[in-house]
């Protein structure tokens, strides 16, 4: 067994979420774009992209258009990453974490075969 500890710092909840979802993307070969990952991180930290002003805030933070956001939402929904809850677009519950915590521990087990 090989054990490797990596410590990484991020200044904000969104930055932690972007790093986390980037790792998941790589490990699972999801082939997500940077904008997909940013949208996932934004939704994880805000709760939804559907709530008041969320799309405007995402546009300002990440330089995207409302039409592009709609396309990203559709693509992530097709992959099962986003879902609807009470009429709002949210992350699938298994992917939603609380990134406001100071420490997030990710345990990865890779097996042969």
Instruction: Quick: pLDDT tens for 15-24.
Output: 999 999 999 9
- The string of DSSP letters for 13-68 reads HHHHHHHHHHHHHHHHT----HHHHHHHHHHHHHS-SSSTTHHHHHHHHHT--HHH
Q: Do the Cβ atoms of 17 and 44 come closer than 8 Å?
A: yes
Residue 97's pLDDT band (boundaries 50, 70, 90)? very high
Q: What is the mean pLDDT of residues 61-67?
A: 92
pLDDT at position 49 = 93
Q: In 10 A of CB 35, how many CB atoms?
A: 17
pLDDT at 13 over 80: yes
Instruction: Quick: pLDDT tens for 24-47.
Output: 999 999 999 999 999 999 999 999
Instruction: Quick: pLDDT tens for 70-90.
Output: 999 999 999 999 999 999 999
**Global confidence as pTM:** 0.89
pLDDT at 14 over 90: yes
CA gap 39, 53 in Å, rounded: 14
Tell me how far CA of residue 106 lies from CA of 7, 16, 61, in angstroms.
11, 12, 26
């Amino acid at each position: 067994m090989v054990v490797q500890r990596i410590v990484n710092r991020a200044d904000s909840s969104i930055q932690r979420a972007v790093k986390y979802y980037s790792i998941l993307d790589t490990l699972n070969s999801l082939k997500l774009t940077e904008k997909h990952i940013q949208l996932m991180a934004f939704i994880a930290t805000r709760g939804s992209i559907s709530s008041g002003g969320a799309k405007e805030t995402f546009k300002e933070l990440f330089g995207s258009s409302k039409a592009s956001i709609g396309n990203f939402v559709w693509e992530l929904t097709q992959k099962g990453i986003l879902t609807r809850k009470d009429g709002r677009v949210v992350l699938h519950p298994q992917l939603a974490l609380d990134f406001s915590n100071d420490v997030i521990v990710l345990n990865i087990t890779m097996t042969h075969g």
